[in-house]
Amino acid sequence: MSTSADTTTQPRKGVPVYKRKRRRIYGVLGLAVVLVIGLVVWAVTQGGGSSDAALPSFTIAYGQGTVANSDSIIDSDHALQKTIPAHLKFVPFDAGVTAIAEMRSGSLQAISGVGNPPVVGAVGTNTGVDVVIAQSFDADALIVPKSITKPSQLAGKSVGVLVGSSEDYELVGWLGLQHLTSSVKVVGFASEQAAAAAYLGGSVAAAYVQAGPEAQLVAKGGHPMIDAEQIAKLGIPGLNVVAVSSNVVKSDPALVQKYVCAEVQATRLFTGPQSAKYLTQSAKVQGVPGNVIVAATKGYPFIPLSQQLHWLGATPNDTSSPIVQAYVQTGKFLVGQGRLTSAPTASVLAGHVDPTFVKKALAGGC
């Protein structure tokens, strides 16, 4: 007969209870990890991360040194950068002709501070470039020895200038107004520093330079005979502008509008009541001490925002606007120097000057 001990069910020899519980905990944790990873992947591919990945590249070239400008303010201010829907890259701008060539190759989308001859040359050679802001006059001055006190004394002498630049155009135009075209030799140099060195070395009798080189020559006994702003008022305006690739203007006008809005806001910042703060902030990207950049920038002949539509014209394709008329003169200058075979017409040039972006920005349409 069976006893109670014989009939009691014996425990199964399986996985201990504590191990089964631990496996369940690990399973829940694993599932949680999978869910988290899935959410992260979804956020990157479907959420905010996708918009960042889709942003276009936008490379801006601007001049560096003692004078800041709107783009150096943007470069040094993250809040302004965030208003432009693009992956921004800032590169040094040394010469307009070089920058235009880089824009032609597609490595640049905007150039800040490019002068007349490079822009007109680009239009004349079918390089897509559109002017969206009139930024400044040049700040150069014609430095001559104390012995020269009037233009006629330059006859038979040579003058150094930055070759292929708006300064080149200004100097040649002014010499024409003084009836000195045939009697003064204009010598082109790769930089204003080189022109100043040639003056100090006696290779040229005068030099058309600005900022550091100008101060150096004045310290050595030279004096300014005339400057770029005065030459502009005589009807030979060299204008430094912000130019954008025509391809970008056509393919992504909304991006160009945001960029121009940032330009306008940056201009207000470095010319407003807190200008010293923003200029000092930009000193690092300009590569100069803050105290130097404040004084130099405040003394630079920038074109006020209130004069934008005067220079660019109030509407697109305005052949009578001052900037288009200046470009017409520049085209003739380039033909005379053999750098263009034919000058672009006023209507063609006007097609590359677009005031609509700055007009909207000034009206608060950002």
- pLDDT tens across 92-124, in order? 988 888 899 999 999 999 999 999 999 999 999
- Higher-confidence residue: 18 or 106? 106
pLDDT at 26: 53
pLDDT above 80 (res 31): no
- Band (pLDDT 50/70/90 cuts) for residue 20 is low
Q: What percent of the chain has pLDDT over 90?
A: 72
For residue range 255-287, what is the model confidence (pLDDT) as tens digits? 999 999 999 999 999 999 999 999 999 999 998
Percent of the chain scored above 70 by pLDDT? 86
For residues 78 and 135, give the distance between their C-alpha atoms in angstroms, rounded to a whole number: 22
Residue 14 has pLDDT above 90, yes or no: no
* CA nearest neighbour of 323 among 341, 303, 342, 339: 303
CA–CA distance, 107 with 110 (Å, rounded to integer) = 10
Q: What is the pLDDT of residue 95?
A: 81
Kindly state the tokens that stand for 366: 């950002």
Look at residues 97, 94, 87, 149 and name the one whose alpha carbon lies nearest to residue 120: 97
Residue 2 scores a pLDDT above 80: no
- Please tell me the predicted confidence (pLDDT) of residue 212: 82
- The CATH number of 59-137+238-362, from 3.40.605.10, 3.30.930.10, 3.10.350.10, 3.40.190.10, is 3.40.190.10
pLDDT at 48 over 70: no
CA 138 – CA 237 distance, rounded (Å): 9
Residue 88 dihedral angles phi and psi, to the nearest 5°:
-85, 145
Query: What is the pLDDT confidence band of residue 29, given thresholds at 50, 70 and 90?
Result: low
Using an 8 Å Cβ cutoff, are 193 and 95 in contact?
no
Cα–Cα distances in angstroms (integers) from residue 67 to residues 229, 289, 304, in the given order: 17, 11, 16
CA distance 250 to 230: 37
Q: Using 50, 70 and 90 to split pLDDT, how confident is the model at 197?
A: very high
Name the token pair of 98: 């070089």
pLDDT at residue 326 above 60?
A: yes
Could you tell me which residue, 38 or 275, shows the higher pLDDT?
A: 275
Question: Taking 90 as the threshold, does the pLDDT of residue 337 lie above it?
Answer: no
Q: With 60 as the cut, is the pLDDT of residue 202 above it?
A: yes
| Tens-place pLDDT, residues 139-160 | 999 999 999 999 999 999 999 9
Question: Would you call 117 exposed, middle or buried from its count of C-beta atoms within 10 A (0-12, 13-18, 19+)?
Answer: buried
Which part of the chain has CATH 3.40.190.10?
59-137+238-362, 141-233
Which range, of 57-61, 139-143, 209-213, 220-224, averages the lowest pLDDT? 209-213
- Choose among 250, 233, 247, 258: nearest CA to 86: 258
Q: What is the DSSP string of 114-163?
A: E-HHHHHHHHHTT--EEEEEEEEE---EEEE-TT--SGGGGTT-EEEEET
**pTM of the predicted structure, to 2 decimals:** 0.79
Report whether pLDDT(136) > 60. yes
Q: Taking all residues of the chain, what is their mean pLDDT, rounded to a whole number? A: 87
Q: 3-state class of 76 per DSSP?
A: helix
Alpha helical stretches, state H, the chain: 4-7, 17-46, 48-54, 70-76, 78-81, 96-105, 116-124, 166-177, 192-200, 211-219, 228-233, 246-251, 253-271, 275-286, 290-298, 308-312, 322-336, 346-350, 356-362
| Cβ atoms of residues 274 and 286 within 8 Å | no
Tell me the CATH number of domain 141-233, given options 1.10.10.60, 3.40.190.10, 3.40.1160.10, 3.40.50.10380.
3.40.190.10
Coil vs helix vs strand at 90: strand
Cβ atoms within 10 Å, residue 13:
5
What tokens were used for 13?
């020899």
